Amino acid sequence: MHYYGVAYYPELRTHEQIESDLTLLAEAGMNLIRVGEFAWCELEPAEGIYRFEWLESVVERASSKGIWTVLCTPTAAPPAWLTEQMPDMGYVDSQGRQRPFGSRRHYCYNHPRYRELSSRIAEKLAARFRDHPRVIGYQIDNEMAQEGTGRCRCNLCKRQFHAWLERKYGSIEQLNARWGTVFWGQRYDSFEQIGLPVATMEANSISPIPAFFDNPSLRLDFERFCSQSQIEYLQIQAEALRTFGSPNQTVTTNGTGTGTNSINYFDAFAPMDRYGVDAYPNLRGEDLYAASFEWSLARNVAVSTDNHRFWVLELACGGGHGLWGFEGRLQPYPGAIKQLALHAFASGAELVTHFQYLQFPYGAEQLNYSILDADGIPRRRYEEVRAAASDLREMADMLERTEIRCDTALLFDYDSLWSLGIKPVNHDFTYVDHAREWYARLLESGIGADVISAEAGFDRYALLIVPSLFVTDCKLQAKLKAYVANGGTLIATFLTSVKNKDNVAHQQSLPAGLTDLFGIHVTEWEPVFEQSIATVGIEVKGERLSGSNRHWTESLEQHGAVLAAEYMNTFRQGQGVISSYKYGSGTAHYVGTTIAREAGKEWLVSLAEQAGVSIAPFQLPSGVEVIRREGEGETVWILFNANTCEKEIAIDGTFVRLSDRLPVPNNIRLPAKGYIALVSS
């Protein structure tokens, strides 16, 4: 079953307004509400005094209209009585300031008493609704680490970090040796002497001392510690929900995808029932590539469950006033809301809720984006979600009997993300953007891909792309070699295998531990600034293509590899920049810079063809994406035109429309923000 609905806030509505709201939702064909994530002060107005009757009434009234409910633990918004009771539970930011009551997310996730009360409210909620047939599950908290709250620096966290380090290293001597603390005279005599990092890369945070350079090993371990601390906090609530709730109710939380990056989601969601994510793509944009990246990550974080389905617990749906950008937000292009919702379902979502149903008249998020404006009158955004719900019902059977299967994967690694954020190489380069760019090139080429972790199995993929795998160890190096030796095709990009797991530079030729896999040594490297721009020539199927280097550039020395591209000018003229090397039964390719889009796309397609990768039989204009789903001997191709203008798509083969099984011509015109589902005939 698929669930489509809204984030709803009945605590702000009267009895009569709730009735009207639920009626409008049912008439739109929506079948789910998500409620309660900021309602702790209503659910427990004083310690130990619980008032769930109002929430039960909402759940019952929604149920009477065929609407299911996801309940949220309200721990993202601790009430005033709790904050007053525990003055030491406040989150301490990178400036050393404790967050006061009056916003949200102002708690320390390691505080033992706060953890206890969080577990207790989750327990009471689960016990109260465990037997309700229309409560399908729970969202824990709300957007952990959002608004710069993922790296608490209170004294409690400092003590716990010391204990964490002692468990990891065993002795201060071992830590000193592995971190190289003799440099700059930073040797410690005890774990208690270790301070928390001064610098920060957390979203919306500012380092208190601009030119303070912490030990990179300290910083990476602090990233890991904070990630694990928040995962522990989520697990405490998950355990309470499972102990006192029903085994038929799903337990998850809503992450922020690659927006916040303060938590390793591969670890955080491994024990959850579904991967949950919030997504706010640009609804006036001309492609869905960034959203597709998030959906692919979502499918593959969720592999610990019985399928790859995920929940989108907040999805963009409007514009107008804003908050986080400190300015307003553009309204969606006509058709964009419907397209985005159906794109999520086609990509593997089991549940989608838009944020939000009705504009808040109060508080920090007042007048923020919503389906209905504050006056409650249905307008075009309401009609779009009604149309999306209708189309979802038509697609439901196909979505149930098919699934997404990819023979290409892109490796996404949190250690590399954090390490490159700690010591950036170019202000125009980020690990996430680099990974997304490679993923977009795949989509532009008609190649679907899974976004996977280093712990996932590689062998089922014909092609594996590894963008800037900056941090490696012997185990991961051996895994990459085994994949290629067994017949896989590997593409790795610049900044591969530069550091070890302690965030210390490998003391070998680069890519460290992998020079025999790629048949090259990286002999020199530098960022691409104005003075280091060079033209790169690439051989693709006997044709010479060219384009400029970007972001970072490396010179490759051949040790058995064949050069596929070289520099055509500057003092690097004639030096290699892309190489290919046969290793065992497979091939390993190394890309020493970000290459021009069209030249890089042509080269990528040629490698995919050689690797036997499935490529969609369509000539895709920019901004047009295809999702392939398979099942019961049938292949369904769903094409989405994210552009704000009509696009013509050439088709190679014979296809019929899924909706009526009528044949389609060899050239189809897809309207702005339109989609079509085709079946091979």
pLDDT digits (tens, 9 = 90+) for 113-170: 999 999 999 999 999 999 999 999 999 999 999 999 999 999 999 999 999 999 999 9
645 in a known ligand binding site: no
Q: What is the CATH number of the domain that holds 664?
A: 2.60.40.1180
pLDDT (0 to 100) of residue 306: 56
pLDDT (0 to 100) of residue 130: 97
**Is 529 part of any domain?**
yes
**Is 368 part of any domain?**
no
Burial 620-637 (b: 16+ CB within 10 A, else e): beebbbbbbbeeeeeebb
The string of DSSP letters for 554-587 reads EEEEESSPEEEEEE-SSTTTT-EEEEEEEETTEE
**Is 64 part of any domain?**
yes
537 bridge partner residues: 546, 566
Three-class SS state of 262: coil
Q: Which of 8, 29, 5 is nearest to 19 (CA)?
A: 8
**Is 593 part of any domain?**
yes
140 and 83 both lie in a single domain: yes
Of 262, 294, 316, the residue at which a domain comes to its end is 262
Locate 375 and state its tokens. Answer: 């006056």
CA distances from 353 to 34, 134, 281, 381 (A): 7, 16, 14, 14
Three-class SS state of 307: coil
Is the distance from CB of 242 to CB of 123 less than 8 angstroms?
no
**Is 397 part of any domain?**
no
Q: Which of 484, 485, 491 is nearest to 464 (CA)?
A: 491
624 and 582 both lie in a single domain: no
Number of C-beta neighbours around residue 530 at 10 A: 5
pLDDT (0 to 100) of residue 128: 98
| Rounded CA separation 348/355 (Å) | 19
What's the number of domains the chain is made of? 3
83 and 167 both lie in a single domain: yes
489 and 511 both lie in a single domain: yes
154 in a known ligand binding site: yes
pLDDT (0 to 100) of residue 70: 98
416 and 526 both lie in a single domain: yes
**Is 379 part of any domain?**
no
| Rounded CA separation 222/381 (Å) | 43
Query: For 360, which DSSP code?
Result: B
487 and 630 both lie in a single domain: no
Of 208, 240, 262, the residue at which a domain comes to its end is 262
545 and 645 both lie in a single domain: no
632 and 522 both lie in a single domain: no
Is the distance from CB of 446 to CB of 615 less than 8 angstroms?
yes
Of 553, 577, 611, the residue at which a domain comes to its end is 611
Q: What is the pLDDT of residues 234-271, one digit of tens each?
A: 999 999 999 999 999 999 999 999 988 899 999 999 88
Is the distance from CB of 545 to CB of 514 less than 8 angstroms?
no
157 in a known ligand binding site: yes
Please indicate, yes or no, whether the overall pTM of this predicted structure exceeds 0.85: yes
**Is 521 part of any domain?**
yes
261 in a known ligand binding site: no
Q: What is the CATH number of the domain that holds 506?
A: 3.40.50.880
Mind telling me the catalytic residues?
143, 314
pLDDT (0 to 100) of residue 211: 85
Instruction: Give the chain's residues under pLDDT 50.
Output: none
| Rounded CA separation 197/214 (Å) | 6
Number of C-beta neighbours around residue 404 at 10 A: 18
309 in a known ligand binding site: no
Number of C-beta neighbours around residue 353 at 10 A: 27
DSSP 3-state percent helix, strand, coil across the chain (nearest 5): 35, 25, 45
| Rounded CA separation 374/377 (Å) | 8
Tell me how far the alpha carbon of residue 156 is from its chain's centroid. Answer: 30
511 and 627 both lie in a single domain: no
> Dihedral (C-alpha) 396, 401, 405, 410: value to the nearest 10 degrees?
40
| Rounded CA separation 495/420 (Å) | 9
Angle value at C-alpha 210, between 494 and 496, nearest 5 degrees: 10
181 and 253 both lie in a single domain: yes
Domain that holds residue 180: 31-262
558 and 460 both lie in a single domain: yes
536 and 635 both lie in a single domain: no
**Is 297 part of any domain?**
no
